[in-house]
Amino acid sequence: MKTMNKIAAVAFGTLALCATANAGKGGSNAAIKDAVASGSRDAIIAEVERAEGLMCEECIQTVTNLTEDSRYEIREVAAWWFGKRPGLAHMMAEQMESDLTNNADSIHVRNAADFLGTIKEYKALPVLRATMLRTNLSTEAKLALVRAAGVMAHKGGNPILVTGMVDADATVRAASIVAYRDVLDQTDMAPIEARLADTDANVRAQAATVVGAKRDLAARTTLETLVTTDADPFVRRNAAYALGKIGSASSHDALLAASADKSPIVKNVAKAALASLR
CA distance 115 to 95: 11
Segment 35-50 shows an average pLDDT of 97
Distances (CA, A) of 32 to 47, 54, 62, 92: 5, 12, 8, 20
Beta carbons within 10 angstroms of residue 248's beta carbon: 16
**Cβ atoms of residues 223 and 191 within 8 Å:** no
Q: Where does the pLDDT of residue 27 fall: very low under 50, low under 70, confident under 90, or very high at 90 and above?
A: confident
- R_g of the chain, CA atoms, integer Å: 23
Q: Where does the pLDDT of residue 55 fall: very low under 50, low under 70, confident under 90, or very high at 90 and above?
A: confident
Instruction: Tell me the pLDDT tens digit for each residue of 219-244.
Output: 999 999 999 999 999 999 999 999 99
Mean pLDDT of the residues in the chain: 92
For the cut 90, the answer to whether the pLDDT of residue 1 exceeds it is: no
From 171, 164, 133, select the one nearest 149 (Cα to Cα). 164
What is residue 7's predicted lDDT score, i.e. its pLDDT? 52
Segment 245-267 shows an average pLDDT of 97
Segment 38-48 shows an average pLDDT of 97
For the cut 80, the answer to whether the pLDDT of residue 11 exceeds it is: no
Q: CA 252 from chain center: how many Å?
A: 36
Percentage of the chain beyond pLDDT 70 is: 91
Q: Where are the domains of the chain?
A: 1-69
Q: Where does the pLDDT of residue 143 fall: very low under 50, low under 70, confident under 90, or very high at 90 and above?
A: very high
From 52, 51, 60, 58, select the one nearest 8 (Cα to Cα). 60
Q: Can you tell me whether residue 65 is helix, strand or coil?
A: helix
What is residue 164's predicted lDDT score, i.e. its pLDDT? 98
